[in-house]
């Protein structure tokens, strides 16, 4: 899973053969791999956390929305009921 | 005849009255008990139901290991009490409804609180009678239950306290349901969530008893305090629930919206 | 005038909600122990507070309903009871989602989860009795609501001695100020929405009671007219 991330760092980790490269200090292959691994794990955790957040937000507001729709329909029914009542009274 | 115009103060006045309240409660309870002695309906059905539940528990949990038993026995004890209690409460008030005596009783010149106390006492007696089958049964079925036999007094206190809490809530709502001509299915719906804290307390106490936990006495005292709270609340609400007020239109007139 | 209140509240919620999202996700740091998932806290906790608040409102309104035979109180009790069920559902769903993200386990049977669950069951029972109870069970339901409100601390302590692993109560007390700052708008938006819905529901209930009475009156008048004609 980390190979794609580590692929980019391969060139850096390779010891320079000729003078075209300037040695980068303090970066050996193992520590880079370790860093990348932690970064990947953290990114994955954050992504999963955000997924959880979106789900819970969605659930919460859709609950409100569903209740709102139920109230709306109830109101419509009530209005109809009042209309029938009014016609009934007018007839009487 | 006390009119229903002032729902709550009556219940309070009843508590400050002299010997009237206990005497009325005793008379009402005696009446119920006499009828019960005549046909033994409640004791027979509830007792048999307890036995059946006990056998079911035995069949289901016979293979339970010795270490798991102290965790399972409290659950069995109080679940059985909850089931039997609901059954008994339903039956007690069904009987009133069949002969429409509850309404007559409510319009009679007796304190409403004494009705609550009398019905609660009868239910409690039936429930305790069932526990006389239940607890020895658990002792026989499960080795870990031997503690019940070793400390009979503590066990008795625990069972009484737990049953009182259950009955305090149950009597109020069973009476209310019988009065409103309601469906008894709702009794379990109401009763189990409302009594869950009391049953949980009883559960914890029972586990403490079985495991010889030092906090047992604290739990028992807390359970007793909960009993007092529940009985007081039930007594205060009983009249308001059953009688309501004359200032309001009868509920029957407003039944239309159920359609 | 009173008709406008829900609309105003919903408008406020519509403005405050984006603000709260901005605050929660862009201006507040990530909590060190619980990570990003802790952001669920900002609407999980207000939802729990809303549930408790309306549970209390329902119990008090039911008490007034029993004592004074007030229709307004009855309508408020019904509306608040339904809001408890709704908010409780929100708490009970977002809680395990947060738990799954932070503890790796959705339901751990800890004290506050169980307390919320039991309280939710009590109010579901209330709504069921209101809906399916026979005529005249309104007072019974009111007693149920009062018991439910009184049960809140009892249930809490019962569950506490039963078992506990939840972060203790003072988590909210020791919150850094920036997290408080993010909590208030979220609470505001949710509370405004909840109050608006409860107000609408209570109004509907009162209208419904009036309409029921009117129907009964019409029926009575018709019966009387029929009796006079024959």
* Least confident interval from A38-47, B171-180, B186-195, C96-105: C96-105
Give the CA distances from residue A62 to residues A65, A66, B53, B144, C87, in Å, rounded to whole numbers and listed in that order.
5, 6, 43, 50, 12
Number of domains into which chain B is organized: 1
Q: State the Cα–Cα distance between residues B96 and B104, nearest whole angstrom.
A: 10
At C156, the pLDDT band (50, 70, 90 cuts) reads confident
Spatial contact of B126 and B162, defined as CB atoms under 8 Å apart? no
Structure-token match 């049977």, residue found: C109
Interchain CB contact of B233 with C (< 8 Å): yes
User: If pLDDT is split at 50, 70 and 90, which confidence band does C85 have?
Assistant: very high
What confidence score (pLDDT) does residue C164 get?
A: 45
Is the CB of residue C7 less than 8 Å away from at least one CB of chain A?
no
**Number of CB pairs < 8 Å for B and C?**
132
Query: Average model confidence (pLDDT) for chain A?
Result: 78
B98/B116 Cα distance (integer angstroms): 19
Q: What percent of chain B has pLDDT over 70?
A: 85
pLDDT in tens, C182-229: 888 889 999 999 999 999 999 999 988 888 888 888 888 888 888 887
Q: Is residue B105 part of a domain?
A: yes
Decide if B236 contacts B8 (C-beta within 8 A).
Answer: yes
Chain A CB within 8 Å of residue C14 CB: no
Which of C142, C144, C151 is opposite residue B190, by nearest beta carbon?
C144
Alpha-carbon dihedral angle through residues C207, C209, C211, C215, given to the nearest 10 degrees = 180
The domain in which residue B135 lies consists of 21-245
Whether B191 is in a domain gets the answer: yes
Say if B166 is an interface residue toward chain C (CB within 8 Å): no
CB C78 within 8 A of CB C201: yes
- Give all domains of chain C, ordered by start, each with its CATH number: 4-229 (1.20.120)
Using 50, 70 and 90 to split pLDDT, how confident is the model at B2?
very low
Q: Quote the pLDDT of residue B103.
A: 75
∠ Cα B147 B148 B149 (to 5°): 90
Contact C19, C185 (CB under 8 A): yes
The answer to which of B11-15, B49-53, C176-180 has the lowest mean pLDDT is B11-15
Query: Residue B163 in contact with residue B124, Cβ under 8 Å?
Result: yes
pLDDT of residue B171: 92
pLDDT tens digits for range C95-117: 888 888 877 777 777 777 888 88
**Residues C105, C165: contact at Cβ < 8 Å?**
no
Least confident of B2-16, B61-75, B175-189, C56-70: B2-16
Considering only CA atoms, give the Rg of chain C. Answer: 21
Which pLDDT score is estimated for B161?
A: 94
Instruction: Indicate if the alpha-carbon torsion angle B82, B86, B89, B95 is positive or negative.
Output: negative
Q: Do A52 and C98 touch (CB under 8 A)?
A: yes
Mean pLDDT of B231-242: 88
* Interface residue C97 vs chain A (CB under 8 A): yes
Q: Which residue has the higher pLDDT, C51 or B181?
A: C51
Q: Per mean pLDDT, which range of B74-78, C44-48, C82-86, C173-177 is the poorest?
A: C173-177
Q: Are C95 and A55 in contact (CB under 8 A)?
A: no
| For chain C, percent of residues with pLDDT exceeding 90 | 24
Instruction: Find the mean pLDDT for residues B27-33.
Output: 85
User: What CA–CA distance (Å, rounded) separates B202 from B165?
Assistant: 9
ipTM for the complex shown: 0.78
The pLDDT, as a whole number, for residue B96 is: 79
Q: State residue B24's pLDDT score.
A: 84
Residue B149 corresponds to which tokens in the numbers above?
Answer: 């036999």
Q: Is the pLDDT of residue A16 over 70?
A: no
Instruction: Report whether A24 contacts C11 (CB < 8 A).
Output: no
Please name the member of B203, B229, B254 whose beta carbon is closest to the beta carbon of C213.
B254
| pLDDT at residue A3, as a whole number | 46
- Is the pLDDT at B244 greater than 80? The verdict is no
Cα distance from N-terminal residue to C-terminal residue, chain B? 36
Q: Is residue B27's pLDDT more than 60?
A: yes
Distance from CA of A61 to the nearest CA of C (A): 9
Lookup: tokens for C9: 């509240």
Q: Give the pLDDT confidence score for residue B4 in this predicted structure.
A: 38
Tokens (6 digits) for B184: 């008894």
Which of B190, B226, B237 is the closest to C154 by Cβ?
A: B226
Token output for B239: 């009249």
For C137-186, give the DSSP string.
Answer: THHHHHHHHHHHHHHHHHHHHHHHHH---SPPTHHHHT--HHHHHHHHHH
User: By percentage, how much of chain C surpasses pLDDT 70?
Assistant: 90
- From C88, C108, C90, C86, select the one nearest C99 (Cα to Cα): C108
Q: How confident is the model at residue A12, as a pLDDT? A: 52
Chain C closest-CA separation from residue B2 CA (Å): 17
Q: Is C90 on the interface with A (CB under 8 A)?
A: yes
B84-88, C24-28, C78-82: which range is least confident on average?
C24-28
Cβ atoms of B17 and B118 within 8 Å: the answer is no
pLDDT tens sequence across C112-135: 788 888 889 999 999 998 888 777
User: Under an 8 A CB cutoff, do A78 and C204 touch?
Assistant: yes
Say yes or no: C221 contacts chain A, CB-CB below 8 A: yes
Task: Write out chain C residues lying below 8 Å of A59, CB-based.
Answer: 90, 93-94, 97
Residue C64's φ and ψ, nearest 5 degrees, are -65, -40
How far does CA A52 lie from the centroid of its chain?
7
Least confident of A41-50, B10-19, C151-160: B10-19
Mean pLDDT of chain C: 83
Helix, strand, or coil (residue B91): helix
pLDDT at A66 over 90: yes
Is residue B241 domain-resident? yes
C161 pLDDT higher than 60: yes
Per-residue pLDDT tens over the stretch B59-104 = 988 888 888 888 889 999 999 999 999 999 988 888 777 777 777 7
Q: Which residue of C has its CA nearest to B202?
A: C158
Phi, psi of C56 (to 5 degrees): -65, -45
pLDDT band at B18 (very low <50, low <70, confident <90, very high): low
Task: Give the CA angle between residues B22, B181, A81 to the nearest 5°.
Answer: 135
């Amino acid at each position: 899973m980390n190979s794609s991330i580590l692929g980019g760092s391969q060139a850096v980790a390779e010891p320079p053969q000729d003078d075209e490269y300037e040695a980068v200090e303090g970066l050996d292959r193992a520590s880079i791999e370790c860093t990348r691994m932690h970064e990947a794990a953290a990114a994955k955790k954050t992504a999963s956390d955000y997924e959880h957040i979106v789900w819970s937000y969605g659930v919460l507001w859709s609950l409100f929305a569903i209740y709102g729709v139920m109230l709306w329909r109830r109101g419509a029914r009530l209005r109809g009921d009042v209309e029938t009542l009014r016609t009934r009274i007018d007839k009487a | 005849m006390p009119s229903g115009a002032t729902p709550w103060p009556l219940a309070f006045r009843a508590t400050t009255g002299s010997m009237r309240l206990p005497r009325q409660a005793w008379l009402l309870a005696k009446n119920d008990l006499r009828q019960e002695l005549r046909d033994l309906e409640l004791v027979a059905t509830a007792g048999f139901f307890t036995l059946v539940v006990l056998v079911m528990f035995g069949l289901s949990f016979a293979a339970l290991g010795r270490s798991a038993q102290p965790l399972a026995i409290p659950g069995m004890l109080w679940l059985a009490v909850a089931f039997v209690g609901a059954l008994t409460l339903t039956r007690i008030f069904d009987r009133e409804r069949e002969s429409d005596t509850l309404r007559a009783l409510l319009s009679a010149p007796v304190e409403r609180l004494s009705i609550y106390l009398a019905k609660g006492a009868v239910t409690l007696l039936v429930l305790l009678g069932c526990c006389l089958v239940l607890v020895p049964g658990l002792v026989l079925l499960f080795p870990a239950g031997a503690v019940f036999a070793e400390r009979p007094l503590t066990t008795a206190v625990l069972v009484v306290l737990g049953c009182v809490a259950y009955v305090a809530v149950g009597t109020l709502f069973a009476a209310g349901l019988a009065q409103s001509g309601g469906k008894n299915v709702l009794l379990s719906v109401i009763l189990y969530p409302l009594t869950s804290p009391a049953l949980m307390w009883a559960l914890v106490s029972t586990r403490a008893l079985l495991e010889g936990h030092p906090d047992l006495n604290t739990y028992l005292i807390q359970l007793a305090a909960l009993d007092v709270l529940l009985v007081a609340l039930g007594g205060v609400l009983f009249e308001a629930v059953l009688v309501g007020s004359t200032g309001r239109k009868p509920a029957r007139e407003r039944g239309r919206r159920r359609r | 005038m009173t008709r406008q209140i829900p609309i105003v509240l919903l408008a406020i919620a519509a403005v405050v909600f984006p603000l709260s999202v901005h605050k929660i996700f862009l201006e507040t740091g990530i909590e060190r122990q619980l990570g990003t998932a802790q952001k669920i806290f900002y609407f999980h906790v207000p939802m729990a507070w809303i549930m408790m608040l309306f549970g209390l409102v329902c119990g008090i309104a039911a008490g007034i309903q029993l004592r004074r035979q007030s229709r307004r109180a009855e309508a408020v009790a019904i509306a608040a009871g339904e809001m408890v069920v709704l908010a409780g559902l929100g708490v009970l769903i977002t809680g395990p989602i947060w738990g799954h993200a932070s503890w790796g386990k959705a339901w751990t049977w800890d004290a506050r989860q169980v307390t919320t669950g039991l309280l939710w069951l009590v109010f579901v029972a209330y709504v069921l009795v209101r809906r399916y109870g026979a005529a005249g069970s309104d007072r019974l339901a009111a007693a149920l609501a009062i018991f439910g409100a009184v049960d809140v601390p009892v249930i809490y302590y019962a569950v506490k001695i039963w078992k506990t692993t939840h972060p203790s109560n003072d988590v909210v007390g020791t919150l850094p100020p920036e997290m408080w700052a993010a909590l208030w708008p979220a609470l505001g938006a949710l509370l405004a929405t909840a109050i608006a819905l409860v107000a609408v529901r209570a109004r509907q209930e009162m209208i419904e009671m009036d309409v029921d009475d009117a129907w009964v009156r019409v029926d009575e008048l018709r019966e009387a007219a029929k009796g006079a004609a024959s």
